[in-house]
Structure 1
Amino acid sequence: MQYSIETRIRDNPILRSSFNALAEETFGLSFEAWHQAGYWTERYLPYATCAGGRVIANASVNLMDTVWNGKTRRFIQIGTVMTARDARGMGIARSLLERILQDWERRSDLIYLFANDTVLDFYPRFGFERVQEYQFRVKQPRGAGAPLRKLDMEKTEDREVLRDCYERGNPLSRLPMRNNFGLLMFYCSSFLKDCVYYSRDLDAVLVIGEEDGERHLIEFLGGGAGISLKDAADAAGEAGAEDILLGFAPEDPEGCVIENLDTEDFLFVRSGRETIKSVDRVRFPELSHA
Protein backbone atom coordinates (compact mmCIF):
# COMPACT_ATOMS: atom_id res chain seq x y z
CA MET A 1 0.00 0.00 0.00
CA GLN A 2 1.32 3.44 -0.97
CA TYR A 3 0.68 6.07 1.66
CA SER A 4 1.90 9.46 2.83
CA ILE A 5 1.81 11.40 6.10
CA GLU A 6 -0.18 14.62 5.79
CA THR A 7 -0.02 17.36 8.44
CA ARG A 8 -2.40 19.90 6.91
CA ILE A 9 -5.77 18.21 6.86
CA ARG A 10 -7.84 20.86 8.64
CA ASP A 11 -8.26 22.97 5.51
CA ASN A 12 -8.59 20.01 3.13
CA PRO A 13 -12.32 19.16 3.08
CA ILE A 14 -11.83 15.66 1.65
CA LEU A 15 -9.16 14.60 4.14
CA ARG A 16 -10.91 16.33 7.03
CA SER A 17 -14.11 14.45 6.25
CA SER A 18 -12.18 11.16 6.14
CA PHE A 19 -10.42 12.06 9.40
CA ASN A 20 -13.78 12.69 11.06
CA ALA A 21 -15.17 9.42 9.70
CA LEU A 22 -12.27 7.50 11.24
CA ALA A 23 -12.72 9.37 14.53
CA GLU A 24 -16.43 8.46 14.50
CA GLU A 25 -15.57 4.82 13.87
CA THR A 26 -12.86 4.75 16.55
CA PHE A 27 -14.12 7.05 19.31
CA GLY A 28 -17.70 7.85 18.38
CA LEU A 29 -16.99 11.55 17.94
CA SER A 30 -16.45 14.12 15.21
CA PHE A 31 -14.31 17.26 15.18
CA GLU A 32 -16.41 19.01 12.52
CA ALA A 33 -18.64 21.14 14.75
CA TRP A 34 -15.58 22.14 16.78
CA HIS A 35 -13.83 23.13 13.56
CA GLN A 36 -16.81 25.07 12.21
CA ALA A 37 -17.00 27.01 15.48
CA GLY A 38 -13.42 28.15 14.94
CA TYR A 39 -11.80 26.23 17.78
CA TRP A 40 -9.52 24.00 15.68
CA THR A 41 -6.36 26.11 15.70
CA GLU A 42 -2.69 25.58 14.94
CA ARG A 43 -2.30 24.12 18.42
CA TYR A 44 -3.99 20.89 17.25
CA LEU A 45 -1.90 19.26 14.51
CA PRO A 46 -2.98 15.87 13.15
CA TYR A 47 -0.35 13.67 11.55
CA ALA A 48 -2.57 11.66 9.23
CA THR A 49 -1.48 8.65 7.21
CA CYS A 50 -3.36 8.86 3.92
CA ALA A 51 -3.84 6.45 1.03
CA GLY A 52 -5.97 7.17 -2.01
CA GLY A 53 -7.45 10.33 -0.51
CA ARG A 54 -8.48 8.49 2.65
CA VAL A 55 -7.15 8.87 6.20
CA ILE A 56 -6.20 5.38 7.37
CA ALA A 57 -4.37 6.31 10.58
CA ASN A 58 -3.63 9.33 12.73
CA ALA A 59 -1.78 10.64 15.75
CA SER A 60 -2.22 14.30 16.65
CA VAL A 61 0.21 16.75 18.24
CA ASN A 62 -1.28 19.11 20.81
CA LEU A 63 0.79 22.11 21.90
CA MET A 64 0.39 22.41 25.67
CA ASP A 65 1.84 25.44 27.45
CA THR A 66 2.05 25.09 31.21
CA VAL A 67 4.01 26.01 34.31
CA TRP A 68 6.07 23.26 35.92
CA ASN A 69 8.32 23.80 38.93
CA GLY A 70 7.85 27.53 38.59
CA LYS A 71 8.92 27.72 34.94
CA THR A 72 6.90 28.22 31.76
CA ARG A 73 7.18 25.08 29.68
CA ARG A 74 6.04 23.73 26.30
CA PHE A 75 4.76 20.17 26.57
CA ILE A 76 3.54 18.08 23.64
CA GLN A 77 0.56 15.78 24.12
CA ILE A 78 0.01 13.06 21.52
CA GLY A 79 -3.66 12.19 21.10
CA THR A 80 -6.37 11.04 18.70
CA VAL A 81 -4.33 7.92 17.97
CA MET A 82 -6.34 5.71 15.61
CA THR A 83 -5.89 3.24 12.78
CA ALA A 84 -8.52 1.95 10.37
CA ARG A 85 -9.28 -1.75 10.77
CA ASP A 86 -7.99 -2.63 7.30
CA ALA A 87 -4.69 -0.83 7.96
CA ARG A 88 -3.73 -2.44 11.26
CA GLY A 89 -0.68 -4.63 11.67
CA MET A 90 1.28 -2.74 9.01
CA GLY A 91 3.55 -0.70 11.28
CA ILE A 92 1.76 2.56 10.47
CA ALA A 93 1.36 3.62 14.12
CA ARG A 94 5.09 3.14 14.62
CA SER A 95 5.87 5.31 11.60
CA LEU A 96 3.59 8.08 12.83
CA LEU A 97 5.09 8.08 16.30
CA GLU A 98 8.64 8.10 14.95
CA ARG A 99 7.81 11.07 12.71
CA ILE A 100 6.25 13.03 15.57
CA LEU A 101 9.21 12.40 17.87
CA GLN A 102 11.59 13.42 15.10
CA ASP A 103 9.68 16.68 14.56
CA TRP A 104 9.03 17.64 18.17
CA GLU A 105 11.45 16.16 20.70
CA ARG A 106 13.87 19.08 20.32
CA ARG A 107 11.09 21.66 20.17
CA SER A 108 9.46 20.74 23.46
CA ASP A 109 10.33 20.22 27.10
CA LEU A 110 8.40 16.96 27.52
CA ILE A 111 6.15 14.68 25.46
CA TYR A 112 3.28 12.68 26.94
CA LEU A 113 0.19 10.73 26.00
CA PHE A 114 -2.61 8.66 27.46
CA ALA A 115 -3.08 5.02 26.45
CA ASN A 116 -5.42 2.19 27.38
CA ASP A 117 -4.38 -1.22 28.63
CA THR A 118 -4.28 -2.77 25.14
CA VAL A 119 -1.04 -0.94 24.23
CA LEU A 120 0.85 -0.74 27.51
CA ASP A 121 3.85 -2.54 25.99
CA PHE A 122 3.99 -0.40 22.85
CA TYR A 123 4.99 3.06 24.03
CA PRO A 124 7.93 2.07 26.28
CA ARG A 125 9.71 0.98 23.07
CA PHE A 126 9.90 4.69 22.20
CA GLY A 127 11.21 5.89 25.54
CA PHE A 128 7.89 6.53 27.25
CA GLU A 129 7.55 5.66 30.93
CA ARG A 130 4.27 4.93 32.62
CA VAL A 131 3.50 7.44 35.37
CA GLN A 132 0.89 7.06 38.09
CA GLU A 133 -1.57 9.95 38.32
CA TYR A 134 -3.39 10.91 41.50
CA GLN A 135 -6.91 11.88 42.53
CA PHE A 136 -7.25 14.78 44.94
CA ARG A 137 -10.30 14.95 47.17
CA VAL A 138 -11.31 17.94 49.30
CA LYS A 139 -13.08 16.63 52.37
CA GLN A 140 -16.35 17.99 53.72
CA PRO A 141 -16.88 21.27 51.88
CA ARG A 142 -19.33 23.55 53.61
CA GLY A 143 -21.41 23.73 50.45
CA ALA A 144 -22.51 27.27 51.27
CA GLY A 145 -19.93 29.22 49.36
CA ALA A 146 -20.19 31.90 46.70
CA PRO A 147 -23.40 31.73 44.60
CA LEU A 148 -23.07 30.53 41.01
CA ARG A 149 -24.63 31.55 37.70
CA LYS A 150 -24.86 28.93 35.00
CA LEU A 151 -23.25 30.11 31.77
CA ASP A 152 -25.02 29.52 28.47
CA MET A 153 -22.43 28.29 25.99
CA GLU A 154 -24.73 29.33 23.13
CA LYS A 155 -24.37 33.00 24.12
CA THR A 156 -21.38 35.00 22.96
CA GLU A 157 -21.24 37.06 26.14
CA ASP A 158 -21.09 33.95 28.34
CA ARG A 159 -18.40 32.37 26.18
CA GLU A 160 -16.40 35.58 26.59
CA VAL A 161 -16.74 35.31 30.38
CA LEU A 162 -15.28 31.81 30.09
CA ARG A 163 -12.50 32.99 27.77
CA ASP A 164 -11.54 35.85 30.10
CA CYS A 165 -11.28 33.52 33.09
CA TYR A 166 -9.40 30.91 31.05
CA GLU A 167 -6.81 33.47 29.99
CA ARG A 168 -6.13 34.19 33.66
CA GLY A 169 -5.52 30.48 34.23
CA ASN A 170 -6.15 28.19 37.16
CA PRO A 171 -4.33 29.74 40.16
CA LEU A 172 -4.95 26.60 42.20
CA SER A 173 -3.42 24.08 39.77
CA ARG A 174 0.06 22.63 39.90
CA LEU A 175 -0.06 22.13 36.11
CA PRO A 176 -2.14 25.03 34.75
CA MET A 177 -2.78 24.78 31.03
CA ARG A 178 -2.48 27.96 28.98
CA ASN A 179 -3.00 29.31 25.46
CA ASN A 180 -5.34 26.56 24.30
CA PHE A 181 -8.88 27.87 24.64
CA GLY A 182 -9.85 25.73 21.66
CA LEU A 183 -9.15 22.53 23.59
CA LEU A 184 -11.22 23.77 26.54
CA MET A 185 -14.10 24.48 24.18
CA PHE A 186 -13.91 20.96 22.79
CA TYR A 187 -15.47 20.05 26.13
CA CYS A 188 -17.38 23.18 27.12
CA SER A 189 -19.17 23.57 23.78
CA SER A 190 -20.34 19.96 23.76
CA PHE A 191 -20.03 17.30 26.47
CA LEU A 192 -19.86 19.76 29.38
CA LYS A 193 -21.83 22.72 28.05
CA ASP A 194 -24.34 22.38 30.89
CA CYS A 195 -21.65 22.24 33.58
CA VAL A 196 -20.09 25.73 33.31
CA TYR A 197 -20.77 28.25 36.09
CA TYR A 198 -19.58 31.72 37.01
CA SER A 199 -19.05 33.02 40.54
CA ARG A 200 -19.17 36.81 40.78
CA ASP A 201 -17.81 36.72 44.33
CA LEU A 202 -14.78 34.67 43.28
CA ASP A 203 -14.62 36.22 39.77
CA ALA A 204 -14.04 32.72 38.46
CA VAL A 205 -15.54 30.04 36.26
CA LEU A 206 -16.09 26.60 37.74
CA VAL A 207 -16.77 23.51 35.63
CA ILE A 208 -18.78 21.22 37.90
CA GLY A 209 -20.01 17.71 37.24
CA GLU A 210 -21.28 14.60 38.97
CA GLU A 211 -20.34 10.98 38.42
CA ASP A 212 -21.40 7.93 40.39
CA GLY A 213 -23.08 10.21 42.91
CA GLU A 214 -19.93 12.21 43.60
CA ARG A 215 -19.44 15.92 43.03
CA HIS A 216 -16.53 16.97 40.80
CA LEU A 217 -14.84 20.35 40.49
CA ILE A 218 -13.48 19.55 37.06
CA GLU A 219 -11.81 22.90 36.48
CA PHE A 220 -11.42 26.30 38.17
CA LEU A 221 -10.46 29.30 36.05
CA GLY A 222 -9.76 32.90 36.98
CA GLY A 223 -10.29 34.05 40.53
CA GLY A 224 -9.14 37.09 42.41
CA ALA A 225 -6.22 37.46 44.78
CA GLY A 226 -6.23 35.22 47.81
CA ILE A 227 -8.65 32.59 46.48
CA SER A 228 -8.10 29.29 48.25
CA LEU A 229 -8.87 25.72 47.28
CA LYS A 230 -11.37 25.68 50.13
CA ASP A 231 -13.19 28.67 48.61
CA ALA A 232 -13.43 26.87 45.27
CA ALA A 233 -14.58 23.59 46.83
CA ASP A 234 -17.20 25.36 48.93
CA ALA A 235 -18.58 27.08 45.84
CA ALA A 236 -18.69 23.78 43.94
CA GLY A 237 -20.26 21.87 46.81
CA GLU A 238 -23.86 21.52 47.76
CA ALA A 239 -25.75 20.83 50.94
CA GLY A 240 -24.99 17.35 52.18
CA ALA A 241 -21.96 16.81 49.93
CA GLU A 242 -19.30 14.83 51.75
CA ASP A 243 -16.40 15.92 49.59
CA ILE A 244 -15.34 17.26 46.20
CA LEU A 245 -13.20 15.41 43.66
CA LEU A 246 -10.81 17.65 41.76
CA GLY A 247 -10.12 17.34 38.04
CA PHE A 248 -6.61 18.73 38.51
CA ALA A 249 -3.69 18.50 40.93
CA PRO A 250 -3.72 21.46 43.34
CA GLU A 251 -0.58 23.49 43.89
CA ASP A 252 -1.19 23.22 47.62
CA PRO A 253 -2.77 19.85 48.45
CA GLU A 254 -2.92 20.49 52.20
CA GLY A 255 -6.16 19.10 53.56
CA CYS A 256 -6.74 16.87 50.51
CA VAL A 257 -7.11 13.13 50.56
CA ILE A 258 -4.75 11.82 47.86
CA GLU A 259 -5.43 8.50 46.14
CA ASN A 260 -4.21 6.69 43.04
CA LEU A 261 -6.30 7.80 40.07
CA ASP A 262 -8.28 4.81 38.82
CA THR A 263 -8.96 5.29 35.12
CA GLU A 264 -9.08 3.38 31.84
CA ASP A 265 -6.30 5.52 30.37
CA PHE A 266 -2.74 5.54 31.68
CA LEU A 267 -0.25 8.40 31.51
CA PHE A 268 3.00 7.83 29.62
CA VAL A 269 5.78 10.43 29.72
CA ARG A 270 8.84 10.78 27.52
CA SER A 271 11.25 13.01 29.38
CA GLY A 272 13.07 15.86 27.68
CA ARG A 273 14.39 18.99 29.33
CA GLU A 274 11.78 18.25 31.99
CA THR A 275 10.46 15.06 33.50
CA ILE A 276 7.46 13.97 35.53
CA LYS A 277 7.59 10.86 37.70
CA SER A 278 5.06 8.99 39.79
CA VAL A 279 6.68 10.39 42.95
CA ASP A 280 5.65 13.89 41.83
CA ARG A 281 2.02 12.96 42.61
CA VAL A 282 0.49 15.01 39.84
CA ARG A 283 -2.49 14.87 37.54
CA PHE A 284 -2.80 16.49 34.17
CA PRO A 285 -6.00 18.56 34.18
CA GLU A 286 -8.97 16.53 33.07
CA LEU A 287 -9.96 19.12 30.47
CA SER A 288 -6.48 19.11 28.93
CA HIS A 289 -6.86 15.56 27.60
CA ALA A 290 -6.83 15.64 23.80
Structure 2
Amino acid sequence: MSEYELISDYKHNKKYKESFNELAKKVFELDFKEWYGRGCWNDNYVCYSYVDGEKVVANASINKMNVILNGKEYKAIQIGTVMTHPDYRNQGLAAKLMDYIVKKYEQECDFIYLFANDTVLDFYPKFGFERMQESRFSLRTSDWKEKISKKVTLRKLDINKQADFELMRGFAISRAAISSVVGVKNNEHLLMFYFILAFQDSIYYNEEEDIIMIFEQEDNQLHIFDIISKNKVEIDTVLRCTTLDYIETIHFHFTPDFDNKKIYSEFIEENDDVLFVLPLLKDKPKHFLFPLTSHA
Protein backbone atom coordinates (compact mmCIF):
# COMPACT_ATOMS: atom_id res chain seq x y z
CA MET A 1 0.00 0.00 0.00
CA SER A 2 1.21 3.49 -0.83
CA GLU A 3 1.64 5.85 2.07
CA TYR A 4 -1.33 8.16 2.29
CA GLU A 5 -1.70 10.94 4.83
CA LEU A 6 -4.25 10.51 7.62
CA ILE A 7 -6.21 13.69 8.31
CA SER A 8 -9.14 14.40 10.63
CA ASP A 9 -11.55 17.06 11.86
CA TYR A 10 -11.32 19.21 8.76
CA LYS A 11 -14.82 20.71 8.73
CA HIS A 12 -13.30 24.20 8.37
CA ASN A 13 -10.99 23.18 5.51
CA LYS A 14 -12.88 23.89 2.28
CA LYS A 15 -10.50 21.86 0.11
CA TYR A 16 -10.76 18.64 2.11
CA LYS A 17 -14.44 19.13 2.88
CA GLU A 18 -15.33 19.38 -0.79
CA SER A 19 -13.16 16.38 -1.65
CA PHE A 20 -14.91 14.38 1.08
CA ASN A 21 -18.25 15.38 -0.42
CA GLU A 22 -17.17 14.30 -3.90
CA LEU A 23 -16.25 10.88 -2.52
CA ALA A 24 -19.63 10.61 -0.76
CA LYS A 25 -21.42 11.46 -3.99
CA LYS A 26 -19.41 8.87 -5.89
CA VAL A 27 -19.81 6.04 -3.35
CA PHE A 28 -23.22 6.69 -1.77
CA GLU A 29 -24.80 9.24 -4.11
CA LEU A 30 -25.05 11.53 -1.09
CA ASP A 31 -24.44 15.25 -1.37
CA PHE A 32 -23.54 16.81 1.99
CA LYS A 33 -23.03 20.30 0.56
CA GLU A 34 -26.36 21.82 1.63
CA TRP A 35 -26.04 20.19 5.04
CA TYR A 36 -22.64 21.65 5.83
CA GLY A 37 -23.36 24.81 3.83
CA ARG A 38 -26.15 25.61 6.29
CA GLY A 39 -23.88 25.18 9.28
CA CYS A 40 -24.97 21.72 10.41
CA TRP A 41 -21.52 20.12 10.53
CA ASN A 42 -20.62 20.56 14.19
CA ASP A 43 -18.00 19.17 16.56
CA ASN A 44 -19.95 15.93 17.08
CA TYR A 45 -19.22 14.78 13.52
CA VAL A 46 -15.53 14.06 12.91
CA CYS A 47 -14.07 12.58 9.73
CA TYR A 48 -10.96 10.42 9.65
CA SER A 49 -9.69 10.25 6.10
CA TYR A 50 -6.77 9.17 4.00
CA VAL A 51 -5.74 11.67 1.35
CA ASP A 52 -3.67 11.19 -1.75
CA GLY A 53 -2.27 14.66 -2.25
CA GLU A 54 -5.36 16.82 -1.73
CA LYS A 55 -7.87 14.12 -2.65
CA VAL A 56 -9.84 12.26 0.03
CA VAL A 57 -9.67 8.59 -1.01
CA ALA A 58 -11.01 6.78 2.07
CA ASN A 59 -13.03 7.82 5.09
CA ALA A 60 -14.65 6.68 8.31
CA SER A 61 -16.49 9.20 10.46
CA ILE A 62 -17.50 9.24 14.10
CA ASN A 63 -20.67 10.70 15.57
CA LYS A 64 -20.49 11.66 19.24
CA MET A 65 -23.82 11.32 21.04
CA ASN A 66 -25.56 10.21 24.19
CA VAL A 67 -27.70 7.08 24.06
CA ILE A 68 -30.48 6.30 26.52
CA LEU A 69 -30.92 2.60 27.33
CA ASN A 70 -33.56 1.53 29.84
CA GLY A 71 -33.52 4.98 31.40
CA LYS A 72 -29.73 5.18 31.76
CA GLU A 73 -27.61 7.58 29.73
CA TYR A 74 -24.43 6.37 28.03
CA LYS A 75 -21.64 8.12 26.17
CA ALA A 76 -21.52 6.56 22.71
CA ILE A 77 -19.70 6.80 19.40
CA GLN A 78 -21.46 5.84 16.18
CA ILE A 79 -19.28 5.13 13.16
CA GLY A 80 -20.60 5.99 9.72
CA THR A 81 -19.74 7.22 6.22
CA VAL A 82 -17.22 4.40 5.80
CA MET A 83 -16.16 4.60 2.16
CA THR A 84 -13.23 4.12 -0.18
CA HIS A 85 -12.77 5.48 -3.68
CA PRO A 86 -13.10 2.63 -6.24
CA ASP A 87 -9.57 3.28 -7.52
CA TYR A 88 -8.10 2.85 -4.03
CA ARG A 89 -9.88 -0.28 -2.83
CA ASN A 90 -8.24 -3.56 -1.81
CA GLN A 91 -5.45 -1.71 -0.01
CA GLY A 92 -6.89 -2.11 3.48
CA LEU A 93 -7.62 1.59 3.93
CA ALA A 94 -11.05 1.14 5.52
CA ALA A 95 -9.65 -1.49 7.88
CA LYS A 96 -6.82 0.81 8.94
CA LEU A 97 -9.28 3.63 9.62
CA MET A 98 -11.58 1.36 11.62
CA ASP A 99 -8.69 0.04 13.67
CA TYR A 100 -7.47 3.57 14.34
CA ILE A 101 -10.90 4.81 15.45
CA VAL A 102 -11.62 1.83 17.71
CA LYS A 103 -8.25 2.12 19.46
CA LYS A 104 -8.65 5.88 19.87
CA TYR A 105 -12.18 5.90 21.27
CA GLU A 106 -12.93 2.57 22.96
CA GLN A 107 -11.64 3.86 26.31
CA GLU A 108 -13.32 7.26 25.93
CA CYS A 109 -16.92 6.07 25.63
CA ASP A 110 -19.25 3.41 26.99
CA PHE A 111 -19.72 1.73 23.63
CA ILE A 112 -19.17 2.12 19.89
CA TYR A 113 -21.79 1.10 17.36
CA LEU A 114 -22.60 1.23 13.67
CA PHE A 115 -25.07 0.04 11.06
CA ALA A 116 -23.91 -2.11 8.15
CA ASN A 117 -25.51 -3.38 4.97
CA ASP A 118 -25.42 -7.03 4.00
CA THR A 119 -22.31 -6.64 1.81
CA VAL A 120 -19.99 -6.00 4.79
CA LEU A 121 -21.41 -8.18 7.55
CA ASP A 122 -18.12 -10.10 7.83
CA PHE A 123 -15.99 -6.95 7.99
CA TYR A 124 -16.87 -5.38 11.34
CA PRO A 125 -16.52 -8.47 13.58
CA LYS A 126 -12.79 -8.32 12.76
CA PHE A 127 -12.60 -5.29 15.05
CA GLY A 128 -14.54 -6.84 17.91
CA PHE A 129 -18.03 -5.71 16.95
CA GLU A 130 -20.90 -8.08 17.67
CA ARG A 131 -24.17 -8.22 15.79
CA MET A 132 -27.41 -7.36 17.62
CA GLN A 133 -30.96 -7.98 16.50
CA GLU A 134 -33.38 -5.09 16.48
CA SER A 135 -37.18 -5.23 16.39
CA ARG A 136 -40.00 -3.50 14.54
CA PHE A 137 -42.99 -1.89 16.23
CA SER A 138 -46.52 -1.26 15.00
CA LEU A 139 -49.99 -0.40 16.26
CA ARG A 140 -53.37 -1.19 14.75
CA THR A 141 -55.51 1.91 14.96
CA SER A 142 -58.84 0.08 15.30
CA ASP A 143 -58.46 -0.04 19.08
CA TRP A 144 -57.97 3.70 19.29
CA LYS A 145 -60.24 5.39 16.76
CA GLU A 146 -63.18 5.77 19.13
CA LYS A 147 -60.97 7.26 21.84
CA ILE A 148 -59.69 10.18 19.79
CA SER A 149 -62.32 12.89 19.57
CA LYS A 150 -60.23 16.02 19.15
CA LYS A 151 -58.01 16.37 16.09
CA VAL A 152 -55.25 18.91 15.66
CA THR A 153 -54.07 20.83 12.64
CA LEU A 154 -50.61 20.19 11.28
CA ARG A 155 -48.54 22.66 9.31
CA LYS A 156 -46.16 21.26 6.73
CA LEU A 157 -42.68 22.67 7.20
CA ASP A 158 -40.45 23.84 4.36
CA ILE A 159 -36.72 23.46 5.00
CA ASN A 160 -36.08 26.17 2.38
CA LYS A 161 -37.97 28.77 4.40
CA GLN A 162 -35.63 30.34 6.92
CA ALA A 163 -38.24 30.54 9.68
CA ASP A 164 -39.06 26.84 9.31
CA PHE A 165 -35.37 25.95 9.15
CA GLU A 166 -34.73 27.83 12.40
CA LEU A 167 -37.73 26.11 14.01
CA MET A 168 -36.38 22.68 13.05
CA ARG A 169 -32.91 23.54 14.21
CA GLY A 170 -34.20 24.76 17.55
CA PHE A 171 -36.03 21.47 18.07
CA ALA A 172 -32.98 19.47 16.97
CA ILE A 173 -30.84 21.23 19.57
CA SER A 174 -33.22 20.95 22.51
CA ARG A 175 -35.18 17.78 21.78
CA ALA A 176 -35.88 15.20 24.44
CA ALA A 177 -34.91 11.61 23.73
CA ILE A 178 -37.82 9.98 21.92
CA SER A 179 -37.76 6.98 24.25
CA SER A 180 -36.34 6.02 27.63
CA VAL A 181 -36.06 2.45 26.32
CA VAL A 182 -33.73 3.40 23.46
CA GLY A 183 -33.27 7.05 22.62
CA VAL A 184 -30.58 9.43 21.47
CA LYS A 185 -29.55 12.91 22.62
CA ASN A 186 -27.04 15.44 21.31
CA ASN A 187 -27.38 14.30 17.71
CA GLU A 188 -28.46 17.62 16.25
CA HIS A 189 -26.16 17.21 13.24
CA LEU A 190 -27.75 13.88 12.27
CA LEU A 191 -31.32 15.06 12.70
CA MET A 192 -30.61 18.11 10.56
CA PHE A 193 -29.19 15.78 7.91
CA TYR A 194 -32.53 13.96 7.79
CA PHE A 195 -34.47 17.23 7.77
CA ILE A 196 -32.44 18.62 4.88
CA LEU A 197 -31.67 15.58 2.74
CA ALA A 198 -33.99 12.68 3.53
CA PHE A 199 -37.45 13.87 4.59
CA GLN A 200 -37.91 17.34 3.11
CA ASP A 201 -41.51 16.59 2.08
CA SER A 202 -42.54 14.75 5.25
CA ILE A 203 -42.04 17.21 8.11
CA TYR A 204 -45.04 18.61 10.01
CA TYR A 205 -45.45 20.94 12.97
CA ASN A 206 -48.18 20.64 15.58
CA GLU A 207 -48.30 24.13 17.07
CA GLU A 208 -50.82 23.23 19.76
CA GLU A 209 -48.65 20.46 21.21
CA ASP A 210 -45.37 22.09 20.08
CA ILE A 211 -43.99 18.98 18.40
CA ILE A 212 -42.52 18.18 15.00
CA MET A 213 -43.42 14.88 13.35
CA ILE A 214 -41.78 13.17 10.40
CA PHE A 215 -44.19 10.75 8.76
CA GLU A 216 -45.32 9.36 5.42
CA GLN A 217 -48.54 7.62 4.42
CA GLU A 218 -48.49 4.62 2.10
CA ASP A 219 -52.03 3.50 1.26
CA ASN A 220 -53.56 2.55 4.62
CA GLN A 221 -50.19 2.36 6.39
CA LEU A 222 -48.65 5.25 8.29
CA HIS A 223 -44.90 5.35 8.87
CA ILE A 224 -43.79 7.62 11.70
CA PHE A 225 -40.05 8.20 11.43
CA ASP A 226 -39.60 10.59 14.34
CA ILE A 227 -41.44 12.72 16.86
CA ILE A 228 -39.34 15.68 17.93
CA SER A 229 -40.42 17.32 21.16
CA LYS A 230 -38.91 19.04 24.16
CA ASN A 231 -40.97 16.82 26.47
CA LYS A 232 -42.27 13.26 26.55
CA VAL A 233 -45.05 12.66 24.01
CA GLU A 234 -48.04 10.41 24.72
CA ILE A 235 -49.73 8.09 22.24
CA ASP A 236 -52.97 10.10 22.23
CA THR A 237 -51.06 13.16 21.06
CA VAL A 238 -49.58 11.19 18.18
CA LEU A 239 -52.91 9.73 17.12
CA ARG A 240 -54.63 13.12 17.13
CA CYS A 241 -52.13 14.15 14.46
CA THR A 242 -53.10 11.33 12.11
CA THR A 243 -56.05 10.68 9.83
CA LEU A 244 -57.14 7.49 11.52
CA ASP A 245 -60.18 7.07 9.27
CA TYR A 246 -57.84 5.95 6.50
CA ILE A 247 -55.03 4.33 8.47
CA GLU A 248 -55.08 0.71 9.58
CA THR A 249 -51.57 0.35 10.95
CA ILE A 250 -48.99 2.77 12.31
CA HIS A 251 -45.36 1.71 11.95
CA PHE A 252 -42.89 3.29 14.37
CA HIS A 253 -39.31 3.66 13.13
CA PHE A 254 -38.06 3.96 16.70
CA THR A 255 -38.79 2.27 20.02
CA PRO A 256 -42.18 3.53 21.23
CA ASP A 257 -42.21 4.59 24.86
CA PHE A 258 -45.97 4.77 25.26
CA ASP A 259 -47.98 3.31 28.12
CA ASN A 260 -49.83 1.00 25.76
CA LYS A 261 -49.61 -2.77 25.76
CA LYS A 262 -51.24 -3.04 22.33
CA ILE A 263 -48.12 -2.02 20.45
CA TYR A 264 -46.91 -5.07 18.55
CA SER A 265 -43.22 -5.95 18.40
CA GLU A 266 -41.30 -8.59 16.49
CA PHE A 267 -37.65 -9.28 15.72
CA ILE A 268 -36.40 -8.06 12.35
CA GLU A 269 -35.10 -11.07 10.45
CA GLU A 270 -33.87 -9.20 7.36
CA ASN A 271 -32.64 -5.65 7.52
CA ASP A 272 -30.67 -3.31 5.27
CA ASP A 273 -29.10 -1.75 8.36
CA VAL A 274 -27.66 -4.39 10.68
CA LEU A 275 -26.61 -3.17 14.12
CA PHE A 276 -23.09 -3.92 15.37
CA VAL A 277 -21.92 -2.93 18.86
CA LEU A 278 -18.60 -2.92 20.76
CA PRO A 279 -18.74 -4.10 23.48
CA LEU A 280 -22.00 -6.05 23.46
CA LEU A 281 -24.79 -4.25 25.32
CA LYS A 282 -25.72 -6.29 28.38
CA ASP A 283 -28.56 -4.13 29.68
CA LYS A 284 -30.49 -3.90 26.44
CA PRO A 285 -34.26 -4.46 26.37
CA LYS A 286 -35.61 -7.56 24.63
CA HIS A 287 -37.23 -5.55 21.84
CA PHE A 288 -35.64 -2.29 20.76
CA LEU A 289 -34.96 -0.19 17.69
CA PHE A 290 -32.52 2.67 17.40
CA PRO A 291 -34.33 5.72 15.98
CA LEU A 292 -34.00 5.84 12.20
CA THR A 293 -33.11 9.52 12.30
CA SER A 294 -30.11 8.72 14.50
CA HIS A 295 -28.50 6.45 11.89
CA ALA A 296 -25.24 7.82 10.52
Kindly provide the CA deviation profile for residues 180-227 of structure 1, in whole angstroms up to 9, marking residues without a partner as x.
Answer: 2221111112321221111133221111123576311111111656x4
Alignment of 1:258-273 (within 5 A): 258-261=265-268, 262-271=270-279
The 1:269/1:201 distance shift into structure 2, 3 A limit, reads: same
State the partner residue of 2:223.
Answer: 216
Separation in structure 2 between the aligned mates of residue 76 and residue 265 of structure 1, nearest angstrom: 17
Deviation at 1:65, TM superposition (A): 1.5
2:47 equivalent in structure 1: 46
Q: CA deviation at 1:32?
A: 1.4
Aligned to 1:255: 262
**Equivalent residue for 1:232?**
238
Q: Cα distance, 1:276 vs. partner?
A: 6.1
Encode CA deviations 1:213-265: one digit per residue, 9 max, x unaligned: 6311111111656x422431342344220011111102346211112334212
SS at match of 1:176: strand
Unaligned runs of 5+ in 1: none
* CA deviations over 1:89-141 (Å, ceiling 9, x no partner): 11111110111011111111111111111111111121111111111102115
Q: What is the aligned counterpart of 2:195 among 188, 208, 227?
A: 188
Matched, 1:111 2:112: yes
Structure 2 counterparts to residues 130-141 of structure 1, below 5 A? 130-140=131-141
Q: Distance in 1 between matches of 2:193 and 2:208?
A: 27
Distance 1:128 1:213 in 2: 39
Residue 203 (1) aligns with residue 210 (2): yes
**Mean Cα deviation higher: 115-124 or 263-272:** 263-272
Change over 3 Å in CA distance of 1:211–1:5 after alignment to 2:
farther
In the TM superposition, 1:1-290 aligns within 5 A as 1-140=2-141, 142=145, 145-166=151-172, 167-172=174-179, 174-211=181-218, 214-222=221-229, 227-252=233-258, 254-261=261-268, 262-271=270-279, 275=282, 280-290=286-296
Contact 1:165 1:221 in 2 (8 A): yes
- SS in structure 2 of the partner of residue 41 of structure 1: coil
Deviations 1:141-196 (A, max 9, x none): 53874321112222333233334444132454532222222211111123212211
After TM superposition, give the deviation of residue 85 of structure 1 in Å.
1.3
Structure 1 residue 80 displacement after superposition = 0.3
Give the root-mean-square deviation of aligned CA atoms: 2.2
Contact 1:217 1:233 in 2 (8 A): no
2: distance between equivalents of 1:158 and 1:173? Answer: 28
Q: Specify whether residues 13 and 161 from structure 1 end up closer, same or farther in structure 2 by C-alpha distance, changes over 3 A only.
A: closer
**Contact 1:78–1:113 (8 Å) recurs in 2:** yes
Unaligned runs of 5+ in 2: none
